[in-house]
Copies of this chain bind each other. A is one copy, B any other.
Amino acid sequence: MKATGIIVEYNPFHNGHLLHAAESRRAAGHDVLIAVMSGPFLQRGEPALVSKWARTKMALTSGVDLVIELPFSLAVQHATHFASGAVRILHSLGCESICFGSEDGSVESFKETVAWSTENKELLDGQIKSYSKKGISYPSAVALSYEELADGTSKKVDLSKPNNMLGLQYMEAIEQYAPSILPYTIKRQASGYHDPTLHENKISSATSIRKTIAESSLSCIKDHVPPAVYTELSEYYELTGQFHTWSHYWPLLQHAILTKSPEELRGYYEIEEGIEYRLLDAAKQCQSYRSFMEAVKTKRYTWTRIQRILTHLLNGSKKEEISLHLSPSYLRLLGMNSTGRSYLQQHKKHLSLPLISKIGRENEKLLNLDIKAGMVYAMGVHDTRARQQLMESDFKMPPIIL
């Protein structure tokens, strides 16, 4: 059995993901599809709409054979660590190919861009640094530098598009950590990554789906997700009475900030350059997450970067703790179907990292950051019983078997 890997967040799973899963399988021609998926908190520094268990079920009912958790220390990260973490996990699982969505759609363009950037690394880094010094955010600085310096290259990927940028990171990670893996890319359909409105062809962005759920109701997105996903979302809402948003964590965040000194705040991951003072001032003055974010925001810091900082603060992740976990050291099994199970049976002796399907005394410390993130995520649930259940899930839930 041979496997293709995909890197996902499924927040929530939608029709575009369904296409991506099917096309990934077809493109590589392998018989197993493995997804490495962020846990409770996502790359953009947000709580997922629903738990990792619910999102695992969505994946398994929609074409994925095996779901592995991308550890917290790699999931809530800028694109470089996120991509290398995910690629290395898929490599440890024995994947022979990786397939990612992009606006560009041509793996050749990506290869050329990677080749060009390897050749021009120093020049590129210098330019990025000089843009950053002007107070331009890192992603924009990267995109601008490429545009400026690589203008003559024939098949350059347009890095102002978010999925192209992430794709480049996957390609670089593959080259560095897993050159034996074959990369594929699929051109993204119709709607853009951050499109705020639902698309009439029923392939809508996750952003527009979340926005519609928040502003209207769940039923409005029914046609934009597979039926099993819709059922899963409805059941989650019925059980907990909510979908998770930052607002649910605002009192905890405000308290976490205001009980710390600037020196203490600097101990948390990615807090630097004096942003600790902005956080303290804004937390004193604001009484909602939204107004707090507006008060903290500057040109230098993207919304995403601030949210990631806040996610680390909310989860109590210290600099030294995260720094120790920038290389994957385990494979946390969230769920599988019979194909996934057969694949694991066949490959379990060749996995290069330990496979963990149950948390016990012996591996509790290893997974400490993920366990903490799971508990913190649960604390955003208002309903006592649902909160308790979710809080214990990392210890009590066996992997989802479909």
A interface, CB within 8 angstroms of B? 251-252, 254-256, 258-261, 264, 284, 287-288, 314-316, 368, 372, 375-376, 379, 384, 387-388, 391-392
Contacts and interface: CB of A to CB of B under 8 A. Distances in A.
A287 B387 contact: yes
A139 to B, nearest CB: 29
Contacts of A264: 316
A145 B361 CA distance: 43
Given A251-B251, A251-B252, A388-B287, A375 B258 contact: yes
Given A254-B379, A260-B316, A287-B384, 11 more contacts: A251-B379, A252-B252, A252-B255, A255-B376, A255-B379, A256-B259, A258-B372, A258-B376, A259-B376, A261-B368, A288-B384
A273 B349 CA distance: 44
Given A252-B251, A284-B391, A388-B287, A315 B376 contact: no
A235 to B, nearest CB: 22
Given A251-B251, A391-B284, A315 B375 contact: no
Max count, chain B CB within 10 A of own CB: residue among A259, A314, A375, A391: A259
Given A251-B252, A284-B375, A284-B391, A259 B384 contact: no
Contacts of A288: 384
Contacts of A379: 251, 254-255, 258
A384 B259 CA distance: 19
Contacts of A260: 316
A261 B384 CA distance: 24
